Structure 1
């Protein structure tokens, strides 16, 4: 089942919330639009195929589909996935990039960007006026593209075949982490039949992050989701997400988002003045 809810629209952009619970792992029929689509995952993990490029999307990695490109999605059956689609006109994207916009590419999402994503959706739901939403969209998409440019320089080293094997292995590990935030480096390495050292190096080369930092980022995304939904017992939330304690949760969220959980709750719950 796929549910698409229109949230807002403005000068050169529109916002939609998409919820999917797939019955099979089959790829969806290809869709083509004349605009650019930035897809940010709120919860879940799924694969996207943009033309001939395969991407694994999760809350720590959004993706961009270019104008005129075919987009297909494959979800894990029986799992609830939720995402936000920001559709941008070619004109707006050219203004954001100052050049010809990129086509299919992964977009790294840190805590600050995840918070900006949620603030945008929250303000749209509160009926914010189009100029404010346009400013939030431009800031979010511009920051995503800037972060992607820095990561691409790290990834583009090595032979094509080696890069493809490394990417496939790292995507497998990312999916394993999404299912089990407590899995150790050794357990993950055993799952993909690589040595812990080789996996650790490859993961950092592909994502620009250590496994520990990536795991904490996913924990932060889930903490944001829970806080946004009204969860107010931070001690139990810390235990549920595998943080050492309440203080560890607070410290990690502050490092990722630039503010502690209490401030995140206030930001998402109260319209800014």
Structure 2
């Protein structure tokens, strides 16, 4: 056996012949081989070298499943589409549909930044749980198991998997000693709202961009996520009660984005006093309650724009705003530009988006 590989027992990967459907699933264990955490040479491995071509692991419930992800789905249909691939960056979209009863465990064979498109509960192997949502970005370590359960009918996201080399470049400005075993100290980050828009523009325009355009945009977006993660003032450690309360409120808002609850309403959901809830929510999420709700609504508006919804008034009312002008005012204040301008960007080629980002960066100097 190649010294660069080692074996592990993983219930999520089973022989394809035995995995015809959820009803015929064989629960026996099988051996999965993956790259050691420690590079075998001075040159860090690229993403394309993580798996040898003869040892790709595919989920029977996936279509176009990329070998950098091992998925074990229970009563679920898990679909993964490869959007972009190079030596250092892989971009894939995932979609799971299980009628609201999904339980999917996955092991990523590369470090990943996950931009959620829907609401789900995520648990990692270290006992941490979080409400994944479009207003936050998840940072997942390679070779670590994660379990997701959607709060609605589906669970979808866009994942950016990066090589060790790229991750080191992103983290070294903030970490003196980066361990590739568990490089991410934080599970989530709340990047600027403009970064969330740029990621949507990138994902929508991948087909029209060349490698330089795509990777320049990816590095800019992920660098913004890392800066947000390390720039967040986390303060003291939250108690279990505060964490549970914050997650309960975050899930409630995500499930009811059109609602306009009062602070006492939310504090009742959290089981915390209003003051404790406000402090704990910002400490855990990096956002105030009000800003989280508006960023979430804005991200949902982006989904509606890209899905063909043309009427901004209809979008405004569906998200709980009293009028088109109210929605436009809040959206511009949060994201820095009008909804109509963002809608045009979402349909523009990626080159134009990159050129606009370069011009904005140059103008800010």
**TM-score over 0.5 (shorter chain):** yes
Match of 2:199 among 94, 117, 132: 117
Residue correspondence of structure 1 range 39-188 to structure 2 within 5 A: 39-76=114-151, 79-98=153-172, 99=175, 100=178, 101-103=183-185, 105-124=187-206, 126-151=207-232, 154-158=233-237, 162-181=238-257, 182=259, 183-188=261-266
> 1: distance between equivalents of 2:107 and 2:297?
32
| Aligned-residue RMSD, C-alpha | 2.0
Cα deviation, residue 26, structure 1: 6.5
Regions of 4+ moved over 4 Å:
23-27
SS in 1 for 2:223: helix
> 2: distance between equivalents of 1:9 and 1:29?
23
Superposed CA offset, 1:118-139 (max 9, x none): 1111121x23111111111101
Superposed CA offset, 1:212-239 (max 9, x none): 1111111111111111222221112111
Greater RCO, 1 or 2 (C-alpha within 8 Å, sep 6+): 1
1:212 corresponds to which residue? 290
Residue correspondence of structure 1 range 197-208 to structure 2 within 5 A: 197-208=275-286
Superposed CA offset, 1:168-213 (max 9, x none): 2101100000111313222222223323333223223322322111
Structure 2: state its 5+ residue gaps.
1-76, 353-365
Confirm or deny: 8 A CA contact 1:55 1:63 kept in the other structure. no
> 1: distance between equivalents of 2:102 and 2:298?
30
Q: For this pair of structures, how many residues does the alignment match?
A: 265
Structure 1: state its 5+ residue gaps.
none
Confirm or deny: 8 A CA contact 2:81 2:92 kept in the other structure. yes
> 1: distance between equivalents of 2:264 and 2:131?
22
Confirm or deny: 8 A CA contact 1:50 1:104 kept in the other structure. no
> 1: distance between equivalents of 2:312 and 2:105?
42
TM-score by length of 2: 0.67
Cα deviation, residue 163, structure 1: 3.3
1:22 corresponds to which residue? 98
Answer with 1 or 2: which has the greater Rg. Answer: 2
